[in-house]
Chain A
Amino acid sequence: MWSRIAYAFRETWASFRRNLTLTAAAVVTSAISLLLVGTTFLIQRGFDNLLVRWKGDVQMIVFVASDAAPDQIAHIQDVIKSQPAVIDITKLKYLDKAASFEEAKVIFTGDPTLLSLLTPETIPTQFKVVPLTGDAALVRSLAEQYRGLPKVEGVSLAEDEFQVISTLSGFVRTVTIVMSVVLLGVAVALIWNTIRTAMFARRREIEVMKLVGATNWFIRVPFMLEGLLQGLIGGVASCGGLWALNRAWQNGVAGFKPGTGISALVVPSSYLNGVMLMLLIIGALAGAIGSGIAASRFLDV
């Protein structure tokens, strides 16, 4: 058993050295494509942070002062609910201080200064309003009406910020996903080609191996291992790139004035770690799949 494992690793290493140029090309391509995949995830997460408060068709947010008494909050709710023909009262949601603070932590990840000023006690609570009407003028007049209510600190409308970000998010998502899928396909094809070349170079050896009774798996494993390692090294390189990119982005965002909203585009480090782990897995899988197909297809050389 050990002799087989040792053989597989020895052959993998030898093949790596033999096809250094092709291997480097495959690794670089997979690293770039994986970096793009990772960047897509980070950008999407940034946009999701920006849009988190507008999830679930919310078109209007009514902010209530943190010192509002329960009967004052109930009054605001009654006013909103008093127009069931215009407002979807089944979807009306009230975020108390704790829930509002949790949401703020996501939105202001990249703005620790602002976040430190907020506490669960001082944060405004909010009503998330889903209108039934598509009439923007009507929604705007409702907002005006709510602004005049006691203890209402302000009213935000989705049409002001949501539409632009949402459109931009959709566009960026489509472009980056298409590009990363294409590049990932190229990386798999390059790994496939590297393995095919390696197998062709060793066709005589493979022929002898088959004639002396080596199993197909015994022959295949070092090649698959080689592809898997190529993908994995590409994955490690892309993780390094993504980490550096995210770091530069964080530093860049820190330069903006607090409260501009840009800070929402910073992702938490736990999310970054998750994405990096995923890139390693995708890299290893892409490498193993590309080389596995090549190793099976060209075993009759």
Chain B
Amino acid sequence: MIRLDNVTKVYGTDSVAVRDVSFDIGKGDFVFLVGPSGSGKSTLLRLMNRQERPERGDVWIAGRNINELGDSRVPYLRRGMGNVFQDYKLLSNKTVFENVAFALEVIGKPRHVIRQQVPAVLELVGLEDKHDRLPDQLSGGEQQRVSIARAFVNRPLIMLADEPTGNLDPATGEGIMQLLDSINRSGTTVVMATHDHRIVNMMRKRVIQLDRGVLVRDQERGVYE
């Protein structure tokens, strides 16, 4: 589903974010990208959704080399991906329903589809009763659930999550992980960047560890070292 071949990303002239990284992630896998801050985890996620392009190497998504993708095709690539962020990136002037519906609206889904899919995904994340609340009327965990609902409403093949539990207390973080796990079980490939030891050790999924942009460990059912 996702393949990186000798990918190197340099910011500016000499700030190497990722150096010669290669790995392969299969369909339906759940993978943790771990490492300290600045190790290149977020850069890898940004390379996967074409927010960045590598200086060297290739990024393959669902059999396509996305470096060779024309700019006009990038939106269509992203429609097959969901993105979840540490700071949720919710729109403060829109309700829970509208935030989730927004993801369908901007890709031109008709109204009847929106009316059908949004309540279903809100039920999945346990927020069906709070569809008319504004983001600042929700707890951090609930806001992250809205963000996940928005990422998942289009039933993407891949979900990229960048420190989704970073702003949450351990118990709430566990709830979010259960949600991501259930999404993964429905067939969506999940790639999650984190430096949360407890979560990684609890889930026992594949772990790809980075250190200063270099891949230092790729382990099935791994733990955070």
Contacts and interface: CB of A to CB of B under 8 A. Distances in A.
Given A213-B76, A215-B72, A215-B75, A3 B89 contact: no
Given A3-B110, A205-B91, A211 B105 contact: no
Contact of A218 (B77, B102, B108): B108
SS class, residues of chain A in contact with chain B: helix
Interface in A176-226: 204-205, 207-216, 218-219
Interface in A254-278: none
B49 A7 contact: no
B103 A212 contact: yes
A76 B137 CA distance: 97
B79 A212 contact: yes
Contacts of A207: 89
A77 B110 CA distance: 80
A3 B109 contact: yes
Contact of A208 (B79, B91, B110, B154): B91
Given A204-B89, A204-B91, A211 B78 contact: yes
A213 B107 contact: yes
Given A213-B78, A213-B107, A214-B75, 10 more contacts: A3-B108, A3-B109, A3-B110, A3-B111, A4-B108, A204-B89, A211-B78, A212-B102, A213-B79, A219-B106
Interface residues of A, number: 18
A204 B109 CA distance: 21
A218 to B, nearest CB: 6
Interface in B59-90: 71-72, 75-79, 81, 83, 89
Interface in B78-133: 78-79, 81, 83, 89, 91, 102-103, 105-111
B156 to A, nearest CB: 9
Contacts of B155: none
Given A204-B91, A205-B91, A208-B91, A3 B105 contact: yes
B150 interface: yes
A210 B78 CA distance: 8
A215 to B, nearest CB: 5
B105 A7 contact: yes
Interface string A210-248: 111111101100000000000000000000000000000
B103 to A, nearest CB: 4
Contacts of A210: 75, 78
Given A211-B78, A212-B154, A218 B106 contact: yes
